[in-house]
Amino acid sequence: MNRTAYIMIAAGAAFSVCSAARASASIDSMRLGARDVEATVRFYEQAFGLREKGRVRGGVEVLLGFGDAKSGSSANPGPLILIMKRETDTPQDAMAHLILRVTDIAATARTAQDAGGSIVTAPHAVSIGEVAEVADPAGNHVELLQMTNR
């Protein structure tokens, strides 16, 4: 039996994995930790335009999504970012990080820096376009990807 998995990756779109042998699955959210949850939420709102979708666990974890307002964010079927309380701003593993596809990598990196983040790796060319890496104020790494037209 031919078991081919298809993965669609696009910011704001539902991520899906399908296989002839298994039921479909999709990415619901990505959890990031921060000592100061509210400051980290403000960073993602200012740097990338995410909006609060809701709060869970008594309001200590914040769900963020893409959209112009809370209602637009709630209607967007794409994956969410969940910011949760962490005792330190030192991530245990910087390899696990968020990847955002952007249309202007240099401007997005500058906006992230202006919002309180830092540029870890400046935008540079790779085989599929350009990449850069920024860190949010809590030390979580965010990879920026600007794809070339294919």
Q: Is residue 1 one of the residues assigned to a domain?
A: no
Q: Is residue 139 one of the residues assigned to a domain?
A: yes
Residues 97-144 pLDDT 10s: 788 989 999 999 999 999 999 999 999 999 889 999 999 999 999 999
Give 58's Cβ-side CA count (13 Å radius).
Answer: 1
Residues 68-82 pLDDT 10s: 655 555 555 678 899
pLDDT over threshold 60, residue 30? yes
Range of the domain at 108: 6-147
**How confident is the model at residue 93, as a pLDDT?**
64
Residues 9-29 pLDDT 10s: 333 344 444 444 556 556 778
Tell me the whole-structure pTM to 2 decimals: 0.69
Q: State the Cα–Cα distance between residues 47 and 53, nearest whole angstrom.
A: 17
Q: Is residue 11 one of the residues assigned to a domain?
A: yes
More confident residue, 4 or 133: 133
C-beta of residue 64 within 8 angstroms of C-beta of residue 42: no
Count up the domains in the chain and report the number: 1
Q: The CATH number of the domain where 39 resides is what?
A: 3.10.180.10
Q: State the Cα–Cα distance between residues 30 and 50, nearest whole angstrom.
A: 13
Q: Is residue 98 one of the residues assigned to a domain?
A: yes
